[in-house]
Amino acid sequence: MPNDKKVALVTGGNRGIGYELVKQLALNGFKVILASRDPEMGQEVTQKLNEVDLDVTFVRMDVDDQESIRQAATVVNEKYGKLDVLINNAGVYLDENERLLTMNPSLLEHTMDINFFGVYYVIRAFLPLMKKRGYGRIINVSSEMGAMRDMSSQGAGAYRLSKLALNGLTQLIAAEVKGDIKINAVCPGWVSSDMGGPSAPRTPKRAAESILWLATIGPEGPSGGFFRDGNELEW
């Protein structure tokens, strides 16, 4: 692997937006690490991409398991010694028709574990690889449903709260990191996928394209921002 080839990792990279992100990063010259909790599916998708000469490898990582995250970070450190781009894409949307006060609390807890704490622990594990080189791009896949202005309507409370917390995490980490390390949140829109459903108007490819510009921004680029299609959103 050439020393100047950037290394990117995408969580939940075996399907939907994650798969498209992996594919598009590889097409743009990145060495891409596809992270998935399902080793069989992850290996299968990785092999499929390798067959068309895309530089993709697989690492098992369950964002709901801190030990799994630590092991994945160790593998990446030992194999590559760096990480240039981290895209926190893995997430769940479990409560479309549930009300916050009447749902089983375990649904809220599980949603927060994946969508918020999972991202928190992944960043903690991989940020040292960026800090030692003074360079990194972290992209948190969020949602406009997590904007504070969207909290006055009912429905999908667990999902909304998890993305609200993720947006806050993005801003707080942006205030803490030093060097040319940028972290931003992005809303991909309503995407036709396992999560978004078949009636969603936006394709995973279009969603991926709306995210990837943040992976290649220069030192003058934004940090601590919230974007959709390249336009900044209000928190």
CATH code matching the domain that covers 7-232, chosen among 3.40.50.720, 3.40.50.80, 3.40.50.150, 1.20.1250.20: 3.40.50.720
Strands 226-228 and 231-232: antiparallel
Q: How many Å apart are CA 212 and CA 99, to the nearest integer?
A: 34
Question: Which residues does the annotation mark as catalytic?
Answer: 159
Residues 111-155: pLDDT tens digits?
999 999 999 999 999 999 999 999 999 999 999 999 998 898 888
DSSP E strand stretches across the chain:
7-11, 31-36, 56-60, 85-88, 135-141, 180-186, 226-228, 231-232
CA dihedral 18, 180, 69, 56 (to 10 degrees): 40
Cα–Cα distance, 227 to 214 (Å, whole number): 9
CB neighbour burial string for 62-90, b if at least 16 within 10 angstroms, e if fewer: bbbbeebbebbbeebbeebebbbbbbbbb
Q: What are phi and psi of 82, to 5 degrees?
A: -160, 165
Burial 36-49 (b: 16+ CB within 10 A, else e): bbeeeebbebbeeb
Burial class of 106 by CB neighbour count within 10 A (0 to 12, 13 to 18, 19+): exposed
Residue 196 pLDDT greater than 60, yes or no: no
What was the pLDDT predicted at 1?
Answer: 43
pTM metric for this prediction: 0.93
Mean pLDDT of all residues in 69-81: 98
